[in-house]
Amino acid sequence: MSLRNIGHRLYQGEVSFDFVGKRKIWYSISGVIVLVAAIGLAMGLHLGIEFKGGSVYTVQKQGLTVSQAQDAANHITGDTTAQVQKTGDGKIRIQVSSEEKISGPAFSQELSKEIGVPTKDIDAQVIGPSWGKQISQKALLGLVVFMVLVTAYLAIAFEWRMALAALVALIHDLLITIGVYALVGFEVTPGTVIGFLTILGYSLYDTVVVFDTVKENTRGITKQNKRTYSEAANLGLNQTLVRSINTTVVALLPVTALLFIGGGMLGAGTLNDISLALFIGLAAGAYSSICVATPLLAQLKEQTPEMRALAKRVAQRRAADAKAAEAAGTAEGGENAEDGEEVGAGVVGQRNQPVARTRGKGRPSGKR
């Protein structure tokens, strides 16, 4: 069966996956993932030079590898705290934290001796910690403003329960992405911040698409007694399931190429900063829109008096339908039994008619 046929059957309600009804399972899975992410955050993020201050040295030499530059930086600083990456244009980028007790000119001279490059060919930049602090504050402020505006918009366009569910899913995606980032030990750079802000918009986009379908399915739902709110929400989720999967796969393909091919195989380490954040965030956003946001919305709505009354009416109707079907089946079984008895009476025990004594009286005997 093709994906298109599956999508059509999901939209028509012929096939359905009970995401909303199994919300406890999804909550448990999300809880475990968030707990692991929290452990990663407790271990601490690996902040880049832009946030904690330090010096950046960029050098280009034919045949110079990352490992050779790393050994040279370790020998100069006396430890392994220096971060060495290969940029997209083939240059080697060495980051030294401001905690290292060595001046910029001294490091450049020592590096020139270690790798055999003139000092004038080493591009040195010093970044103060105050600049990184300002960047962190602005990024946090932008995140808070973004969440407030999005929550207000969703509350106006839909309702406050949808806004709350979307906000919870958004925080869920952020925690997972930042936690995984801390666990793998990738450096947090301005590119990472850009990646975080990008996944916020994508996660909300997928959630809003599902909520819009749920809103259409639940319009005037209290006027009928065939379907509960959770069932209508689950139908809307199934109707947009294939679309969510297709959108996520298409978005992940180029990000996967950046992460595994650009950053891994080609050695462009600077691509890892934004590509990992996008990869984890896109996957978490698709999961949360399906397994967290919509089930949470249905749970919040089912607690309202109107939806409780609707669920009671639906249960009563289904009980009455089941009772009527059972009674109809019993009556049909009784009719079949009576028909069997009549058939049996006609086959077994046929009545033998007695021979009348006057049967041949008055008839010619055939004698003359």
Domain assignment present for 160 = yes
166 CB-contact burial (10 Å; exposed 0-12 / middle 13-18 / buried 19+): buried
Between CA 235 and CA 231 the distance in angstroms is 6
Q: 184 lies in a domain?
A: yes
Ramachandran bin of 15, using left for φ above 0, alpha for ψ from -120 to 50, beta for the remaining angles: beta
Contacts 24+ apart (CB under 8 A), 31-37: 33/176, 34/172, 34/175, 34/176, 34/179, 36/179, 36/183, 37/175, 37/176, 37/178, 37/179, 37/180, 37/182, 37/183
Task: Judge if 30 and 66 occupy the same domain.
Answer: no
Question: Do 91 and 193 share a structural domain?
Answer: no
317 phi, psi to nearest 5 deg:
-65, -45
> How many CB atoms neighbour CB 350 within 10 A?
8
Are 95 and 55 within 8 A, CB to CB? yes
Are 23 and 101 members of one domain? no
Query: In Å, what is the CA distance from 33 to each residue of 26, 46, 288?
Result: 11, 20, 12
CATH of residue 62's domain is 3.30.70
Q: Name the pTM for this structure.
A: 0.72
Place of tokens 């930086």: 73
- The answer to whether residues 32 and 122 belong to one domain is no
Position of tokens 């207000």?
152
Decide if 340 is inside a domain.
no
Picking from 187, 185, 181, the residue whose alpha carbon sits closest to that of residue 95 is 187
Kindly state whether residues 123 and 135 are assigned to the same domain: no
Do 23 and 76 belong together in one domain? no
- Mark whether 223 and 244 lie in a shared domain: yes
Between strands 187-188 and 46-47, the pairing is parallel
Residue 289 lies in a domain: yes
Burial of 92 (0-12, 13-18, 19+ CB in 10 A): buried
Half-sphere exposure of 336 (CA within 13 A, CB side): 6
Out of 87, 102, 127, a domain closes at: 127
Is the domain of 115 the same as that of 137?
no
Q: Are 313 and 225 in contact (CB under 8 A)?
A: yes
Domain tally, the chain: 2
Q: According to the model, what pLDDT value does residue 361 have?
A: 47
- Which segments in the chain show pLDDT lower than 70? 1-15, 80, 88-89, 98-101, 128-132, 262-271, 332-368
For residue 312, being part of any structural domain is answered with no
What are the structure tokens assigned to 274, written together? Answer: 């934004």
Of 105, 127, 149, which marks where a domain is finished? 127
Tell me whether residue 109 is in a domain: yes
Could you tell me if 188 and 275 lie in one domain?
Answer: yes
Structural domain span for residue 63: 54-127
Is 367 a domain residue?
no
Domain boundary among 127, 159, 182: 127
- pLDDT value at position 333? 62
